[in-house]
């Protein structure tokens, strides 16, 4: 578990500073109004709860585009995008003899143009009513302590789809680049910008517009960063971290393979909406059970401890925690005394705890996770996921092939449609050429899958570069061969990894290998060039010199410890809270940050890798993406693409 202060909560700290702004200066208002647009509402919702906003003295949250009631005795905080429409609305609110609010504290989510600043300055009546006018540079969405998204949900469709509408693709890249740039502006980081290069333009290798996506994005981010260097006060003038830009073609398997960690299985199997889990709790006064919504998030110490653990370990650990609680609780011991002294099941322990009068918040959380883990294990048994998971991983590591998939489909006819589809998508990623034409149709018929599922499999095959034999050996997703194996492998087994102690935990996302190479200075400069050519002091005389071994400017990191990271009493004596307690202990010892951005959607397994490598490499690794996709979401996005849209004939040089 990472022992670094959770840096993206610096983002939350900036928002709180903004909300407290009206308390400064001559303003003596106790309550204020918060005014936002559609984007900034979403940004705020990712970082703050309504209770947090209210606690900062906000009594009313308003939409800038709706008709609002005048509140001339109250101050207003504007958190808005720096668009012409928003500025006009703001000036309309605060101009004239009867402004809507007493004073306005204006915060823009990204840099504002000089023209719009001049437009604001023209109205002298408004100027005297402005308490603050600042650029916050906050247009990203913090999904995790080490993860963010730009909220480009349609990036896969707009960038990997039909090239005829290049305007949509360019607009998508522009939005993505500006939002990524605000991450570095808010954290006061200036990165080395590295990216997956397009294939060389020769007669044997076709370069499509999709090959150029990381290159185009890197150029746009670089443009924004060079402007920040000139305009933002205290912005670093020399490089302080590394950014690696990739796209989804780097690893097609990660979004669809069954991941066996607690976090991944919760989001994959439980039909959750975001981090929201709905479960039943006993009704009041003996009434019928009631539905209760809970958020699985980092404020929960049990979740924080177990989210990246293998489901088998998480289940064992939860049983230990519950057993330990019962053994220490006198009331539980009295109840247990009437039993035969045998070992209690997890369900028995859960029912005992729920019967206790002092059913505290900590035990409530513990009982919740016992319930969730139990539900996941039941789904695993009933769906036969262990056998499916085994063949998935055997395919990836070269221990299974087409015959094994056919055998599974003929003997496991009761497998769900989604599970069969995901298996064929993995097959398409590993053996794209074997699903061409008649063979592809036959295996789809054997699986009894409809046409839209066939589209998803075919798009996966084409994303892997099936129509170009050169791509299979030189492309972004290079398929590896082992001379000791007759079958192809998309991953190499790793030795000495703790994860291998658990069944079905061999799989790892490709970014783990790339980040490790980047850290060691072994990432190919030809395949992953840098926008700002590193100076000799960066790599020294050897290309293999890792960045964090060289003295360089310090990152402008936040020194705040999040309020939820303060110690609390443990729920069981095993102390999940110790994870939080040590969150900032080695913060100052960490090397420079590594940022990885994936165009086309990231996965929870890739987010887990970033947490794992932060501890292993002693460098904070932060994952960014256009979206965070669970398997059902990624499959839906692939279905929306037609085979023609992913044609390799869209040569663009």
pLDDT per position as a tens digit, 570-616: 444 345 544 334 444 454 457 899 999 999 999 999 999 999 999 99
pLDDT of residue 501 exceeding 70, the answer is no
**DSSP-assigned states of every residue in 472-526:** HHHSSSPPB--TT-SS-BSS---SS-GGGGSTT-----HHHHHHHHHHHT-S-TT
Six token digits for residue 421: 């589809």
Place 477 in a pLDDT band, splitting at 50, 70 and 90. Answer: very low
- Positive or negative torsion for Cα 186, 187, 191, 196: negative
Mean pLDDT, to the nearest integer, of 26-30? 57
pLDDT digit string (tens) for 370-417? Answer: 999 999 999 999 999 999 999 999 999 999 999 999 999 999 988 999
Give the span between the Cα atoms of 243 and 624, in whole angstroms: 10
pTM of the model: 0.83
pLDDT at 647: 47
Kindly report which listed range (126-130, 178-182, 492-496) carries the lowest average pLDDT score: 492-496
Mean pLDDT, to the nearest integer, of 224-247? 93
Give the span between the Cα atoms of 650 and 647, in whole angstroms: 7
Name, in order, each residue with C-beta under 8 angstroms of 215's C-beta and a sequence gap of 6 or more.
Answer: 195, 197, 198
Share of the chain above pLDDT 70, in %: 74
Place 351 in a pLDDT band, splitting at 50, 70 and 90. Answer: low
Six token digits for residue 97: 């003899």
Based on the number of CB atoms within 10 Å of its own CB, is 497 exposed (0-12), middle (13-18) or buried (19 or more)?
A: exposed
Mean pLDDT, to the nearest integer, of 493-508? 70
Nearest to 419 by CA among 445, 458, 380: 380
pLDDT at 534: 52
Instruction: Report the half-sphere exposure of 496 (CA within 13 A, side-chain side).
Output: 0
Instruction: Give, in degrees to the nearest 5, the angle at Cα 347 between 343 and 353.
Output: 90
Six token digits for residue 284: 């009041």
Six token digits for residue 236: 């670093």
């Amino acid at each position: 578990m990472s022992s670094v202060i959770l840096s993206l909560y610096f983002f939350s700290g900036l928002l709180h500073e903004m909300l407290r702004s009206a308390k400064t200066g001559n303003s003596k208002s106790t309550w204020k109004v918060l005014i936002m647009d559609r984007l900034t509402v979403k940004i705020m919702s990712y970082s703050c709860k309504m209770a947090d906003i209210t606690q900062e003295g906000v009594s009313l949250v308003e939409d800038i585009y709706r008709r609002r009631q005048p509140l001339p005795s109250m101050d207003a905080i504007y958190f808005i995008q720096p668009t012409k429409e928003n500025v006009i609305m703001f000036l309309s609110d605060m101009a004239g003899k009867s402004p809507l609010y007493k004073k306005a504290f204006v915060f823009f989510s990204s840099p504002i143009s000089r023209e719009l600043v001049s437009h604001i300055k023209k109205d002298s009546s408004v100027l005297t009513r402005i308490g603050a006018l600042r650029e916050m540079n906050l247009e990203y969405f913090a999904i995790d302590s080490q993860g963010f998204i730009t909220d480009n949900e349609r990036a896969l469709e707009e960038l990997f789809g039909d090239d005829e509408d290049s305007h949509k693709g360019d607009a998508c890249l522009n939005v993505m680049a500006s939002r990524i740039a605000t991450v570095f502006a808010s954290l006061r980081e200036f990165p080395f910008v590295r990216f997956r290069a397009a294939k060389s333009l020769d007669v044997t290798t076709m370069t499509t517009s999709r090959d150029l996506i990381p290159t185009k994005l890197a150029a746009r981010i670089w443009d924004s960063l060079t402007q920040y260097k000139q305009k933002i006060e205290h912005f670093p003038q020399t490089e302080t971290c590394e950014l690696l830009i990739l796209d989804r073609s780097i690893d097609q398997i990660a979004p669809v393979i069954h991941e066996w960690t607690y976090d991944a299985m919760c989001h994959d199997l439980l039909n959750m909406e975001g981090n929201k889990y709905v479960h039943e709790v006993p009704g009041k006064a003996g009434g019928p059970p009631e539905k209760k919504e809970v958020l699985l998030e980092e404020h929960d110490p049990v979740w924080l401890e177990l989210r990246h653990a293998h489901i088998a370990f998480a289940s064992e650990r939860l049983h230990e925690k519950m057993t330990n609680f019962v053994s220490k609780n006198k009331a539980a011991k009295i109840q247990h005394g009437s039993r035969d002294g045998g070992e209690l099941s997890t369900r028995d322990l859960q029912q005992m705890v729920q019967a206790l009068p002092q059913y505290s918040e900590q035990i409530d959380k513990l009982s919740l996770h016992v319930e969730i883990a139990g539900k996941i294990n039941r789904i695993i048994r009933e769906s036969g996921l262990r056998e499916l998971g085994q063949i998935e991983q055997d395919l990836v590591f070269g221990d299974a092939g087409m015959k094994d998939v056919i055998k599974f489909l003929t003997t496991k006819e009761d497998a769900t449609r989604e599970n069969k589809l995901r298996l064929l998508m993995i097959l398409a990623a590993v053996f794209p050429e074997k699903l061409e034409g008649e063979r592809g149709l036959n295996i789809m018929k054997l699986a009894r899958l409809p046409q839209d599922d066939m589209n998803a499999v075919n798009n996966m095959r084409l994303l892997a570069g099936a129509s170009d034999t050169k791509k299979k050996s030189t492309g972004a997703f290079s398929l590896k061969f082992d001379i000791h194996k007759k079958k192809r492998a998309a991953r190499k087994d790793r030795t000495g990894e703790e994860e291998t102690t658990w069944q079905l935990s061999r799989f790892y996302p490709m970014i783990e290998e790339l980040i490790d190479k980047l850290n060691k200075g072994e990432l190919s400069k030809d395949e992953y060039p840098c926008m700002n050519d590193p100076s000799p002091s960066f790599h020294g005389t050897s290309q293999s010199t890792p960045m964090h071994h060289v003295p360089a400017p310090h990152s402008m990191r936040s020194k705040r410890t999040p309020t939820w990271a303060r110690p609390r009493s443990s729920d069981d004596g095993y102390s999940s809270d110790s994870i939080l307690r040590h969150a900032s202990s080695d913060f100052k010892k960490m090397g420079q940050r590594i940022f990885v951005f994936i165009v086309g959607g990231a996965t929870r397994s890739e987010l887990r890798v970033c947490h794992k490598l932060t501890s292993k490499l002693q460098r904070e690794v932060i994952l960014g993406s256009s979206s965070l996709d669970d398997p059902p979401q990624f499959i839906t996005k692939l279905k929306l693409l037609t085979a023609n849209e992913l044609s390799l004939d869209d040569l663009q040089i």
